[in-house]
Structure 1
Amino acid sequence: MHTLILSISFSVAVSVFLKLARRCDVRIEQAILVNYVTACLLCLWLLRPPLATLFDQSATVWIILGLLGVLLPTVFLVMAAAVRQAGIVLSDTAQRLSLVIPILAAFLVFHESLSGRKALGIVLALGALACLLKRTPTGTAAAPSLGERAANNAAGSPRARWAWLSLLGVWVGYGTIDILFKQMARTGARFTSSLLLSFMLAALLMILWLAARRTAWHARSLASGILLGALNFSNIYFYIRAHQTYPQNPTLVFAAMNIGVISIGTLVGAGVFRERLSRANLAGIALAIGAVVLLFPR
């Protein structure tokens, strides 16, 4: 059970890092670059992918890897924006609700059967997402001024619009990444090899993007990326270990991970960072947990 607890804790810790990044003068795009370099090194050390055949991949796998190389850092940046604009609670919940996207794809694109239980879970998940996106609060602890309240509450205000879009981006982005990893698994590619290659491509594309922007490198941001990479990879590593610990009960791992992140993220966001949640947001969190329960893999 400790592997599950550690995976949940590191997942929430990533969101806490993203929440504190701006306050600590961390330039998140540089931290994300070093995060992927760190993840590559940890993947080599702990997962030991077969290096002799690392680049012996089919054309289909390389296409998927290319998409992952673009999506992984892009969605990480979107997640950072969501945590900053909407808070840890709603961002973590939106990320976990992304599990409904590969289920929808399986039904709509790959023509798999859809049970009544899954259909109800999808309805609850979409309802939860609608509740999360409704009048997203700013997530700041300090009470806003009268002018700020008017700006934040105004229909279509830039801050509210960015919060809405970033949460939607988190949901679609992580769901798409999940689909790509599942498709890669169907091709027979080894998970450890595909994980390392996707990290390597993400790091390379981040370097090229930052170089094209003539980025002024920032020592604190680069150093903090090591911490971000350790947290991010530890979440993945202990999730894998949890599946290895409970090979006959993947449902337990799936459910505990998703419900655990939503629950602990809510406690940390609302309890530590005083993120304000509307009644609709609270209803969305409850619906999200219900959706996860219904969408347990059977």
Structure 2
Amino acid sequence: MIYLLLSIFASSWILITFKLFAKYNIDTQQAIIVNYVIACISGLVAYTEPIDIISITKSSWFYGTIALGFIFILVFNFMAITTQKNGLSVAAVASKMSVAIPVIFGIIVYNESTGALKIIGIIIALIAVYMTSMKTVGGIAIKKENLIYPLLVFLGGGIIDTSLKFMETNYVAKMDVPIFSATIFSFAAILGIFTLAYKATRGTLKINVKNIIAGICLGIPNYFSIYFLIQALRNENIDSSTVFIINNVAVLLVSTFAGILFFKEKLLLKNWIGIVLAIMSILFVTFSI
């Protein structure tokens, strides 16, 4: 359970850091790419075994990390586009509702428990995510031509979590978790650097020191959010569907209360109802263990 709590803390720190990005006019793309570099370095430092690149490339999980690194960058860009075309609330709902994919995967593929309390908790959690994330008076209104972007965010986020569970279960040894995580971030960083290089050739790249500092502040908790999540998924006493639901909903709660306390954010009635439902969902899912 300690790994789950640490994952929640690290993931919440990431969301709080993103709120600071907006406050200090950070170039999110530059900071994200630096973040991947720092997250990779964090994994390399945490890995206690000698680093052998040849052995890493021969690992059964190696090609999976290439795909995950690519998806990391894609989902980031889809979230940015979704925010621009549909609004921040739509992007938030799409990314957080993606928890449904690894939950369903765990139940179907790994025959995880589906007691009444757990099913009720999962349904309440999805409703809570929607209501807590919506910061506008109306509901979600998306133009048909822009529907593809939140859908891709939803699918991408779900694929990332599901892939982490699948690879952790079938391919990644316990001692390889740090290097596995570092390798994912390294490929995300490489793809991101190519993006910056392309901008440089077009003369549109402007590097700012504050973006680099922001990336460093984001990279360390980003690495540990993945590391601790994988460790939490290794707990044989807790189903992965339970881990994903508790982690996702708890992160939403912590980041929401941080927004109220530190950023003076105002919540609508439906947001408060969502918070109550989120707490209920965690209780239902926890007591179903």
TM-score (norm 2): 0.72
- Paired residues for 1:1-298 under 5 Å: 7-48=7-48, 51-52=51-52, 53-58=55-60, 61-77=61-77, 86=88, 91=92, 98-107=98-107, 110=109, 112=111, 115-117=114-116, 118-132=118-132, 136-137=134-135, 156=141, 172-190=155-173, 191-214=177-200, 215-219=204-208, 220-237=210-227, 254=243, 257-258=247-248, 260-296=250-286, 298=289
Instruction: Give the SS at the match of 1:213.
Output: helix
Query: What CA RMSD, in Å, does the superposition of the two structures yield over aligned residues?
Result: 4.1
Matching residue's letter, 1:64: G
Distance, in Å, in 2 between the alignment partners of 1:130 and 1:3 is 26
How far residue 263 of structure 1 moved from its aligned partner, in angstroms, is 3.0
How far residue 290 of structure 1 moved from its aligned partner, in angstroms, is 2.9
How far residue 121 of structure 1 moved from its aligned partner, in angstroms, is 2.9
Residues 208 and 49 of structure 1: is their aligned pair in 2 closer, same or farther, counting only changes over 3 Å?
A: farther
Does the 8 Å contact 1:100/1:125 carry over to 2? no
How far residue 270 of structure 1 moved from its aligned partner, in angstroms, is 2.2
Matching residue's letter, 1:23: K
How many correspondences in the alignment? 271
Residues 172 and 165 of structure 1: is their aligned pair in 2 closer, same or farther, counting only changes over 3 Å?
A: same
1:6-56 CA-partner distances (Å, limit 9, x unpaired): 654432222122112133231111111111111111111123366332111
Between the two proteins, what is the percent identity of the paired residues? 29
Distance, in Å, in 2 between the alignment partners of 1:183 and 1:9 is 23
Distance, in Å, in 2 between the alignment partners of 1:275 and 1:211 is 37
Instruction: Give the SS at the match of 2:166.
Output: helix
TM-score (norm 1): 0.70
Does the 8 Å contact 1:34/1:226 carry over to 2? yes
Q: Which of 191-200 and 2-11 deviates more?
A: 2-11
